[in-house]
Amino acid sequence: LQLEESGGGLVQPGGSLRLSCVASGRSLEDYAIGWFRQAPGKEREGISCISSSGVTLTFVHSTKGRFSISRDNAKNTVYLQMNNLEPEDTATYYCAARKTACTFSEQTYLEGWGQGTLVTVFS
C-alpha cells in the first residue's frame, strides 16, 4: 500500500485547506487511515483517524471543531478538511495506514506512510 498526500500550501490565519491522501497498490477500504503532523522542532502528533467502517477519532483537542476527516473508498482517498487555520497548525502533515480500526498510537500504523505535505499558516 502506497500513500501520497497533497493539498498543502500557504494560507492566512482563518483560511481553509483540504488535504488528500491517495492510496495506490491496494484498495483502501480495509484500512484505517490516520492523519499526523510534525511542526518544526516538535515531535510528530496524531490529529485524527477514520476506520475502515467510517468511525472517526480526534486525537488533538486543539483541532476539534476545526478539522474533519472523511473518506471516499471509490476514489481510494481520505481527506482532512482544515478550517479556521491558525499559525500553530503550521507543520508537515502525513497520512498513515493500519488494518481496520483506529488507535492513538502512531507506532501501530505499519501498513504505510506518505511523504508528507507542508502546510504553512502565516499572517
- Cα–Cα nearest to 62, from 75, 50, 40, 46: 46
- Cα–Cα nearest to 28, from 53, 56, 9, 5: 53
What pLDDT, in 10s, does the model give residues 14-42?
999 999 999 999 999 999 999 999 999 99
Confidence at residue 123, expressed as pLDDT on a 0 to 100 scale: 83
Confidence at residue 110, expressed as pLDDT on a 0 to 100 scale: 92
Confidence at residue 20, expressed as pLDDT on a 0 to 100 scale: 98
Confidence at residue 86, expressed as pLDDT on a 0 to 100 scale: 96
Q: Which residues pair with 4 in a beta bridge?
A: 22
What pLDDT, in 10s, does the model give residues 97-112?
999 899 989 999 999 9
Q: How confident is the model at residue 61 (pLDDT cuts 50, 70, 90)?
A: confident
Confidence at residue 80, expressed as pLDDT on a 0 to 100 scale: 98
